[in-house]
Amino acid sequence: MALKVSGRGSIPPFIVMDVVRAAAEREFERRAVYHMEIGQPGTPAPEGARRAAHEAIDRQDLGYTVALGDAGLRARIARHYREYYGFEVDRSRVVVTTGSSAGFVLAFLAAFDAGDRVALAIPGYPCYRHTLSALGIEPVLLLAEAEDRFQPTPELIETAVAAGGPIDGLIVASPSNPAGTMLDRDAMAALTAYCGSNGIRMVSDEIYHGITYGRRAVTVLELDDDAIVVNSFSKYYSMTGWRLGWMVVPEDMVRAVECVSQNLFLSPPTLSQVAALAAFDCTDELEGNVARYAANRERLVGELPKAGFRRLAPIDGAFYAYADLEGVTGDSVAFCRRILDETGVAATPGLDFDPVRGRRFMRFSFAGSEETVAGAAAALIQWKRQRAVVGQGR
């Protein structure tokens, strides 16, 4: 008799990892690859963070911390809100997590019950809806449009309520993945006001804060003290593999988050916490990384249209260009596979981010080096020219 396998694991795969595998196979064959498929900074953790980690290893002082995280790091994160955003966050509300991924698990478990309905805009980060589904929480997809900057609106939530009933939560990401768009203060205020009036808990993904172009991102905490914020050291701080993030939660939720964290994770990794504390003092190096992203962004905005990618979402922040392929292809999975095979440019099909319309979109990450982005742009432009010549020859 076969033993039962839980249905929680029957969530869709993360398609970008299939692209990563195909790109690795191409590299194994010693063929050129321009990595634009994954949102990983091409720079290492800042020097000060690496140095602090080495010193901690030499001290051999790497036991467990408490479940909420090291007190010194929590205090430094609270200070970051005063220095960067200009308002106070009490240290007691800060929770250090094993990456933002654990932060979302903790947020969803502490804020919602099985059967609750949580809304999120698509296109959006696929792990939101997959994690919600695995936890027995219903993801409610809001089909955001370009005119909404692919962001949620009160009107979209109203439509979802009319179609399926009350909404218990809303996930917001500004800057977003994959579109790179942001909500300005007025748009964020409209969402917080609507959610506050309708008993909807907001969960704000702010992991791309610090990587913006022209204006600073608005944190939901400026407008809604009952919201949950999830942030990470992976993107701005260039510490993806260190698997460390943080949350800011309402006071009445701290104990619930602590209890869940104690049982699921014990504590976040101590070595990473030591490094993260030092990373806050590496602003010059980190801002240099953002300047490189800005240069890559400018290059892509200028070059991608020459390669036939003319319909790009506004890139307000993060390090992604989200391209509408209407009139080019209706199958972005096959199209991305063909681009990788014929140009070496690895990019992600939009189906990862939008299960409804994603076959018409694709995402380019420009988190890598300027050389990678320049090489990819040149390869795509040359590919377009070659296709045009072949078409004329027919």
For 146-194, write each residue's pLDDT tens digit: 999 999 999 999 999 999 999 999 999 999 999 999 999 999 999 999 9
* pTM of the predicted protein model: 0.94
Angle at 105 between CA 103 and CA 106, to 5 degrees: 65
Distance, CA of 134 to CA of 124 (rounded, Å)? 17
Architecture category of domain 11-40+283-386 in CATH: 3-Layer(aba) Sandwich (3.40)
**Amino acid found at 111:** A
Asked if 360 and 330 touch (Cβ cutoff 8 Å), the reply is yes
Residue 165 DSSP SS3: coil
Residues 268-321 have pLDDT tens digits of: 999 999 999 999 999 999 999 999 999 999 999 999 999 999 999 999 999 999
> Same topology for domains 11-40+283-386 and 63-279, yes or no?
yes
Bridge partners of 320, per DSSP, are 365
- Take residue 285 and report the two structure tokens written for it: 């190096």
The residue assigned the tokens 């690496």 is 50
What fold is seen in the domain 63-279? Aspartate Aminotransferase; domain 2 (3.40.640)
Residues with Cβ within 8 Å of 199's Cβ and at least 6 positions away in sequence, in order, are 166, 168
Domain extent listing, the chain:
11-40+283-386, 63-279
Residues 184-203 have pLDDT tens digits of: 999 999 999 999 999 999 99
Residues with Cβ within 8 Å of 193's Cβ and at least 6 positions away in sequence, in order, are none
Provide DSSP, 327-348.
Answer: TT-S-HHHHHHHHHHHH-EE-E
End-to-end CA distance of the chain, in Å?
60
Distance, CA of 55 to CA of 10 (rounded, Å)? 43
